[in-house]
Amino acid sequence: MTNEGRQVVIPGQILGDTPTFKPGRGTFVENKKIYAERLGVLNIQDAFIHIIPLKGRYDPIIGDLVIGIVEEASASHWMVDINAPSPAVLHVHEVPWEIEYADTEKYLNTGDTILAKVLSVDESKRLQITLNDRNLFKLKDGHLIEFEPSVYRRIMGKKYSMIEIIQKYTRCRIKVGKNGRIWIDGDAEGIEKVLQAISKIESEAITFGLTDRIEELLKKDAKDVR
Amino acid sequence: MTIVPIIKRDYIIKLAEQGKRIDGRDFNHYRKIEIETNVVNKAEGSARVKIGNTQVLCGIKMDIGEPFPDTPATGVMSTAAEFVPLASPDFESGPPREDAIELARVVDRGVRESQVIQLEKLCITPGEKVWLVFIDIHILDYDGNLFDAASLAALAALSTTKVPVSRFLKDLNEKDRTSWQKQILDLYTIPGVDEIPFGADEANKNPNPIQDFPLPMTEPPISCTAVKINDFILFDPCFDEEVIADVRLTVATDHNGDIRAMQKGLSGSFSKEEIQKVIKGALDNGKEVRKTLKDVVSS
Amino acid sequence: MKSDIELIDTEGKRNDGRGPQDIRKIKIEAGVLHRADGSCYLEWGGNKVLVAVYGPREAVPRHTQNPLKAIVQARYNMAAFSVEDRKRPGPDRRSVEISKVISEALEKIVLTDQFPRASIDVCIEVLDAEAGTRCAGLTAAGVALIDAGIPMRDIPVACAAGKINGQVVLDLGKEEDNFGDADLPIAISPRTGEVLLLQMDGHLTYEEFNEAFDLAVKGCHMVSEIQKKAIMDKYQTAAAEVNE
């Protein structure tokens, strides 16, 4: 198998001319030429040239599901680390609890982990997140690991195929944050297998046939899959 | 500062209750140790030690200087550690933090008190000129257990150190040279030889006073570190274990199985039984680590 | 004058065997550290340099934040044992200056407006020094920034030219740096030719400067190819192996 469809590109590399092609994500234009702005994999769709990044910090987009770690509680809000270039604000109005002034610590405190959604990103990239949704909550038990945020799409797979396979064979509850964090709950053995699968996906992210290889890896010692 | 999520902490404890660790090791087991020597050309001796993902580089520089007045015929050693911001998102640039100073002092004690370097053999002219040995520890990648990585790097670097006589010869006057000739004979007693003339290289076999020679050393003690998390004692903690640990103990043991240095760290506490347990584990692990070190420096 | 030491013979052969337009041997490896967001190890002649990149992350202290773009903070540091006579650990005036000019060079290339209020930290550790450490450090920083996934206009690269015994040569070695007539380290954006860093000390005529500058640019392009290969080795080859 060749790498043809997954060409690695680097910053400053020329990718095409405008207007034949249109500049997409991860590119910039100078003198009608489209260049890559970061390390990534080339992806051309409907004349749009995109770069799918291979490395880099999480870049928050409104509506993203993220896993946050509470840094500190203030009287009216919490500061939450979501692995982005700056911490996010979780305002007391954005949680499902009735909180009296300065009572924030009772609900969430330093070191707590939450499954949240990006509520807003302003021009200077100030971030707000929310817990106001029935699928969002404080995470308890289980294990938390980090992964390269650019690998998110591979971990989920096409139409969630990858994550479903992982859940099926490990019988773990898994929540994947777009910000490069995964929460896993299950028995130690199951969690260990999830970790193996994630690390394989990370190191082989730009290859073909990954879903099959992950299924093989998990199948090997899975005896009682329903 | 990196905040450790409570669920990660709880998970490490939950695993420990089942006798497991997050990277699959037994409580007493070390991660893979790799030692590479002579990695810095400008240094008189150097070594890079990896324990798992932790990486420490140690370089030895030597110079000629004055002895301390109370030990006029003894060489001088000093140890410094740099926690450079390269190694961890939590390390900041600037003057050494107290962590770096503690690390440097613990490594220094391990070398000094056990007379690993035979400083009395590093005198040139008593009261005037002695060899200075600088041990500099550079942390490159921090994934826990810097104490063991740093002291092992220092020992490996010292083992490969050559006293740079040839480079400093120009700094020695007639008096120094005469005195040094005597010293070098004390260092390497040769029957029937009572003077080795300077500059006569071919005619005289080793040792030659203008030749660089290996730093005179004795068998070093080996440091092993464990942390306590709840009631569990874990050796060679990785970063995730170290940041949630209650208390830490480093024990340096020698080749006779005796204890040569100890350092308790962090704000938790140990019982006597727990300390004994760490000492026993340090003795067992020390043997393995000593073998790893010997294999590298003697090859 | 100090140029009475012979550094280059009549045949144009330098003391280390190189010709006037030869560069020292360079080895680059990307992604060598576990904690850093991006990293690079580089050997250039007798120089050994390790670079880590952290960020973009919240700039601290807060007053350093720029509401419109990220700041790039390079920190050049020499290990105590990296030089002939032991250096006192920690920053000195020389390293502060070099950190500043490297920060400014990188800031021009990084697309900083994507990360308001953030900081991109570039830690350059010189582990073994033998003339040309700032060029080695900046070149390694370019690779480490890519390894960290930082968006950039180009891959910055540096190389020096100089004058020894009255002759313009590429990439001064230790002796040539100590006893030569002039040193001209530059950093460029190889795609556009823009000059990002330029320093010079010694003595050059206007004509000699032009010659040295062109030679240094040529050197930069040579080094740039090695940078690109190091990145491809890390990312494209890794993919190819699994696919076979």
User: Is residue A212 a part of any domain in this protein?
Assistant: yes
**How many angstroms separate the CA atoms of C78 and B53, rounded?**
23
Task: State the DSSP code for B192.
Answer: T
Cα angle at A127 between A123 and A131, to 5 degrees?
Answer: 145
Q: Do A26 and C232 touch (CB under 8 A)?
A: no
Which pair of structure tokens corresponds to residue B147? Answer: 């104490």
Chain B residues 12-31 within an 8 A CB cutoff of chain A: 14-15, 18, 20, 24
**What 3-state class would DSSP assign to C12?**
coil
Q: Does C69 touch chain A (CB under 8 A)?
A: no
- Of A108, A139, A170, which one is at a domain's C-terminal end? A139
**Digit-coded pLDDT (tens) for B108-150:** 999 998 899 999 989 999 999 999 999 999 999 999 999 999 9
Q: Which of C84, C123, C128 sits opposite B84 (nearest CB)?
A: C123
- Of A139, A170, A191, which one is at a domain's C-terminal end? A139
| Rounded mean pLDDT, C168-195 | 96
- What burial class does residue B209 get, using C-beta atoms within 10 Å of its C-beta: 0-12 exposed, 13-18 middle, 19+ buried? buried
On chain C, the residues whose CB falls within 8 A of the CB of A57 are 37, 55-57, 149
Q: Do B59 and C80 touch (CB under 8 A)?
A: yes
User: Is residue A109 a part of any domain in this protein?
Assistant: yes
CA distance A217 to chain C (A): 14
Which pair of structure tokens corresponds to residue B157? Answer: 């670097």
Cα angle at A46 between A44 and A52, to 5 degrees?
Answer: 30
Burial readout A147-169 (b: 16 or more C-beta within 10 A, e: otherwise): bbbbbbebbbbeeeebbebbbeb
In this predicted structure, what is the pLDDT of residue B142? 97
ipTM at complex level: 0.93
**Digit-coded pLDDT (tens) for C195-215:** 999 999 999 999 999 999 999
In this predicted structure, what is the pLDDT of residue B196? 52
Q: Does B242 touch chain C (CB under 8 A)?
A: no
User: Is residue A58 a part of any domain in this protein?
Assistant: no
Kindly state whether residues A211 and A148 are assigned to the same domain. yes
Kindly state whether residues A171 and A185 are assigned to the same domain. yes
State which residue of chain A sits closest to C227, comparing Cα positions: A10
Q: Do B53 and C125 touch (CB under 8 A)?
A: no
Task: Supply the CATH number for residue A157's domain.
Answer: 3.30.1370.10
Kindly state whether residues A154 and A183 are assigned to the same domain. yes
Q: Do B5 and A192 touch (CB under 8 A)?
A: no
- Domains contained in chain A, number: 3
Cα C223 to the chain's mean position, in Å? 10
Q: Which of C117, C152, C239 sits opposite A11 (nearest CB)?
A: C152
Cβ of C66: how many Cβ atoms within 10 Å? Answer: 16
Task: State the DSSP code for A92.
Answer: G
User: Is residue C19 a part of any domain in this protein?
Assistant: no
The rounded average pLDDT for each run of 10 residues, N- to C-terminus, in chain B (299 residues) is 89 95 95 97 97 98 96 96 94 83 95 92 93 97 97 97 90 87 68 51 53 87 97 97 96 95 95 98 97 89
Cβ of A68: how many Cβ atoms within 10 Å? Answer: 29
**How many angstroms separate the CA atoms of A179 and A84, rounded?**
7
Phi, psi of B77 (to 5 degrees): -120, 150
| Rounded mean pLDDT, C86-111 | 96
Edge-first strand listing for the sheet containing B247-253:
B232-235, B222-229, B247-253, B259-265
Kindly state whether residues A155 and A133 are assigned to the same domain. no
Which pair of structure tokens corresponds to residue B275? Answer: 């300390």
**Digit-coded pLDDT (tens) for C109-162:** 999 999 999 999 999 999 999 999 999 999 999 999 999 999 999 999 999 999
The answer, yes or no, to whether residue A211 has pLDDT greater than 50, is yes
Task: Supply the CATH number for residue A93's domain.
Answer: 2.40.50.140
State which residue of chain A sits closest to B11, comparing Cα positions: A143
In this predicted structure, what is the pLDDT of residue B195? 55
On chain A, the residues whose CB falls within 8 A of the CB of B4 are 111
**How many angstroms separate the CA atoms of C242 and C244, rounded?**
6
What is each CA distance from B209 to B196, B202, C14, C84, in whole angstroms? 7, 13, 33, 21
Give the relative orientation of helices A161-170 and A188-203 as an angle to the nearest 10 degrees: 150
Nearest to B3 by CA among A190, A167, A146: A146
User: Is residue A86 a part of any domain in this protein?
Assistant: yes
Kindly state whether residues A135 and A151 are assigned to the same domain. no
User: Is residue C16 a part of any domain in this protein?
Assistant: no
Kindly state whether residues A207 and A176 are assigned to the same domain. yes
Nearest to B176 by CA among B209, B222, B134: B209
**pLDDT-derived band at C240, boundaries 50, 70, 90:** low
**How many angstroms separate the CA atoms of A74 and A193, rounded?**
38
What is each CA distance from C112 to B85, B158, C57, C150, C156, in whole angstroms? 21, 45, 12, 9, 15
The answer, yes or no, to whether residue C1 has pLDDT greater than 90, is no
**How many angstroms separate the CA atoms of C71 and B193, rounded?**
67
Kindly state whether residues A83 and A122 are assigned to the same domain. yes
Burial readout B58-82 (b: 16 or more C-beta within 10 A, e: otherwise): bbbbbbbeebeeeeebbbbbebbbb
Nearest to A12 by CA among C187, C141, C43, C150: C150
- Of A88, A118, A139, which one is at a domain's C-terminal end? A139
Cβ of B134: how many Cβ atoms within 10 Å? Answer: 20
CA distance B142 to chain A (A): 17
Q: Which of A10, A28, A89, A216 would you mutate first to test chain C, the one with the most C CBs within 10 A?
A: A10
Q: Do A204 and C242 touch (CB under 8 A)?
A: yes
CA distance B100 to chain C (A): 12
Catalogue the E-assigned strands of chain B: 33-37, 45-51, 54-65, 76-82, 123-125, 129-141, 162-163, 213-214, 222-229, 232-235, 247-253, 259-265
Which pair of structure tokens corresponds to residue C7? Answer: 């550094």
Q: Does C30 touch chain A (CB under 8 A)?
A: no
Contact between C199 and C185 (Cβ < 8 Å) = yes
Kindly state whether residues A113 and A164 are assigned to the same domain. no
Cβ of C194: how many Cβ atoms within 10 Å? Answer: 14
Tokens 């690993």 locate to B116
Kindly state whether residues A150 and A212 are assigned to the same domain. yes
Kindly state whether residues A160 and A182 are assigned to the same domain. yes
Per-position DSSP letters for A157-186, written without gaps between them: -GGGHHHHHHHHHH--EEEEETTTEEEEES
Task: Please name the helix (run of DSSP H) or strand (run of DSSP E) that holds residue A73, with its range, or none.
Answer: strand A65-73
Kindly state whether residues A147 and A132 are assigned to the same domain. no
User: Is residue A59 a part of any domain in this protein?
Assistant: no
Structure-derived torsion over alpha carbons of residues A156, A160, A164, A167, reported in degrees to the nearest 10: 40
**pLDDT-derived band at C244, boundaries 50, 70, 90:** very low
Contact between A70 and A112 (Cβ < 8 Å) = yes
Tokens 């003795």 locate to B283
- Domains contained in chain C, number: 1
User: Is residue C15 a part of any domain in this protein?
Assistant: no
Task: Supply the CATH number for residue C60's domain.
Answer: 3.30.230.70
Question: How many helices, marked H, and strands, marked E, lie in chain A?
Answer: 4, 16
Domain that holds residue A168: 143-219
Phi, psi of B94 (to 5 degrees): 120, -170
Chain A residues 193-222 within an 8 A CB cutoff of chain C: 203-204, 206-208
Domain that holds residue C42: 26-243
Contact between B176 and B125 (Cβ < 8 Å) = yes
Q: Do B6 and A112 touch (CB under 8 A)?
A: yes
- What burial class does residue C58 get, using C-beta atoms within 10 Å of its C-beta: 0-12 exposed, 13-18 middle, 19+ buried? middle
On chain B, the residues whose CB falls within 8 A of the CB of C79 are 40, 57, 59, 82, 136, 138
Cα C228 to the chain's mean position, in Å? 14
Kindly state whether residues A110 and A80 are assigned to the same domain. yes
In this predicted structure, what is the pLDDT of residue B194? 55
User: Is residue C10 a part of any domain in this protein?
Assistant: no
Interface of C to B at Cβ within 8 Å reads: 33-36, 46, 48, 50-52, 54, 57, 75, 77, 79-86, 89-91, 121, 123, 125, 127-130
The pTM of the full predicted model, rounded to 2 decimals, is: 0.93
Structure-derived torsion over alpha carbons of residues A101, A103, A107, A112, reported in degrees to the nearest 10: 110
- With residues binned 3-state (H G I as helix, E B as strand, rest as coil), the percentages for chain B, rounded to 5, are 30, 25, 40
User: Is residue A182 a part of any domain in this protein?
Assistant: yes
Q: Do B85 and C83 touch (CB under 8 A)?
A: no
**pLDDT-derived band at C241, boundaries 50, 70, 90:** low
User: Is residue A42 a part of any domain in this protein?
Assistant: yes
Q: Do B3 and A110 touch (CB under 8 A)?
A: yes
